[in-house]
Chains A and B, each alone.
Chain A
Amino acid sequence: MSDASIPDDVEPDHEHEHSHHAEGPGYATPQAAIEESDREKLAYVMSLYVGTDVDAPDFVAVVDIDPDSDTYCKIVDRIELPNRGDELHHFGWNACSSSCHVEGLERRHLIVPGQRSSRIHVVDTKERRNPELVSVIEPEDVYEYDLSAPHTVHCIPDGQILISMLGDADGELPGGFLELNEDFEIEGRWEPPGEIEMNYDYWYQPRQNVMVSSEWAAPKTYYPGFDLDDVEEGRYGRKLHFWDWEAGTVEQTIDLGEEGLIPLEVRFLHTPESTHGFVGAALSSNIFHFWRDEESAARSAADEASGDEPRAADGEGKYRAEKVIDFEAREHPDWDMPVPGLTTDILISMDDRYLFGSNWLHGDIWMYDVSDPSNPRRADSLSVGGTFGEVQEVQGRKLSAGPQMIQLSLDGERLYWTTSLFSSWDEQFYPEEGERGSVMLKADVDPRKGTLELDEDFLVDWGECPAGPARAHEIRWPDGDCTSDVWQ
Chain B
Amino acid sequence: MTGAPSHDVRLEWPDGRTRSMDIREDETVLEGADRVDVALPFGCRTGACGTCTGRLLEVDESDPADAGRDSGAGAVEAAFAYRRRPRALKDRHRDDGYVLLCIASPRVDCRIAVGSSVHAELVENPWK
Contact = CB atoms under 8 A, between A and B. Distances in A.
Interface of A: 50-53, 55, 84-87, 116-118, 139, 148, 167, 170-172, 219-220, 223-228, 334-340, 423-424, 427-429, 431, 434
Does more than half of chain A's interface fall in helix, strand or loop, or is it mixed? loop
A116 B119 CA distance: 14
Given A50-B51, A334-B128, A116 B44 contact: yes
Interface stretch (B3-11, B35-43, B70-78, B104-112): B35-43
Contact of A53 (B53, B87, B116): B116
Interface string B117-128: 001101111111
Contact of A51 (B43, B124, B125): B43
Q: Which of B44, B90, B128 has the most CB of A within 10 A?
A: B44
B123 A224 contact: yes
Contacts of B125: 428-429
Contact of B88 (A55, A84, A220, A334): A220
B39 A167 contact: no
A423 B42 CA distance: 12
B44 A427 contact: no
Q: Which of B13, B42, B53 has the most CB of A within 10 A?
A: B42
B119 A51 contact: yes
A85 B120 contact: no
B87 A50 contact: no
Contact of B128 (A55, A170, A225, A336): A336
Given A50-B41, A52-B41, A431 B127 contact: no
Contacts of B45: 85, 117, 139
A317 B91 CA distance: 41
A431 B126 contact: no
Does more than half of chain B's interface fall in helix, strand or loop, or is it mixed? loop
Contacts of A338: 127
Nearest to A423: B51
Given A55-B39, A220-B48, A224-B88, 10 more contacts: A51-B116, A52-B116, A53-B41, A87-B43, A148-B48, A224-B122, A334-B128, A340-B127, A427-B116, A431-B120
16 contacts: A53-B39, A118-B44, A167-B48, A170-B48, A170-B85, A220-B48, A223-B49, A224-B49, A224-B122, A225-B122, A227-B90, A334-B128, A427-B116, A427-B123, A428-B124, A429-B125
A116 B43 CA distance: 5
Q: Which of A170, A431, A434 has the most CB of B within 10 A?
A: A170
A249 B66 CA distance: 54
Contact of A223 (B50, B84, B116, B128): B50
Nearest to A87: B43
Interface residues of B, number: 31
A226 B125 CA distance: 8
Interface of B: 13, 39, 41-51, 53, 84-85, 87-90, 115-116, 119-120, 122-128
Contact of A224 (B46, B119, B128): B119
Given A55-B39, A117-B44, A225-B122, A339 B127 contact: yes
A170 B49 contact: no
A219 B50 CA distance: 11
Contacts of B51: 50-51, 85, 116, 223, 423-424
Given A85-B45, A223-B49, A225-B50, A428 B116 contact: no
Nearest to B93: A224
Given A336-B128, A424-B123, A224 B50 contact: yes
B42 A85 contact: yes
A139 B49 CA distance: 14
A148 B88 CA distance: 15
A154 B89 CA distance: 33
Nearest to A50: B43
Contacts of A84: 39, 42
B126 A227 contact: yes
B119 A427 contact: yes
B42 to A, nearest CB: 5
A118 B87 CA distance: 16
Contact of B46 (A87, A170, A339, A427): A170
A199 to B, nearest CB: 15
A51 B46 CA distance: 15
A110 B89 CA distance: 34
Contacts of B50: 223-225, 424
B123 A225 contact: yes
Given A85-B45, A170-B48, A171-B49, A335 B127 contact: yes
Contacts of A340: 127
A167 B47 CA distance: 13
B107 to A, nearest CB: 24
B126 A53 contact: no
B126 to A, nearest CB: 4
B126 A219 contact: no
A44 to B, nearest CB: 22
A334 B84 CA distance: 41
Contacts of B49: 116, 171, 219-220, 223-224, 424
A117 B43 contact: yes
A223 B44 contact: yes
Given A85-B43, A85-B51, A171-B48, A220 B87 contact: yes
A81 to B, nearest CB: 13
Contacts of A434: 116
A101 B88 CA distance: 45
A201 to B, nearest CB: 20
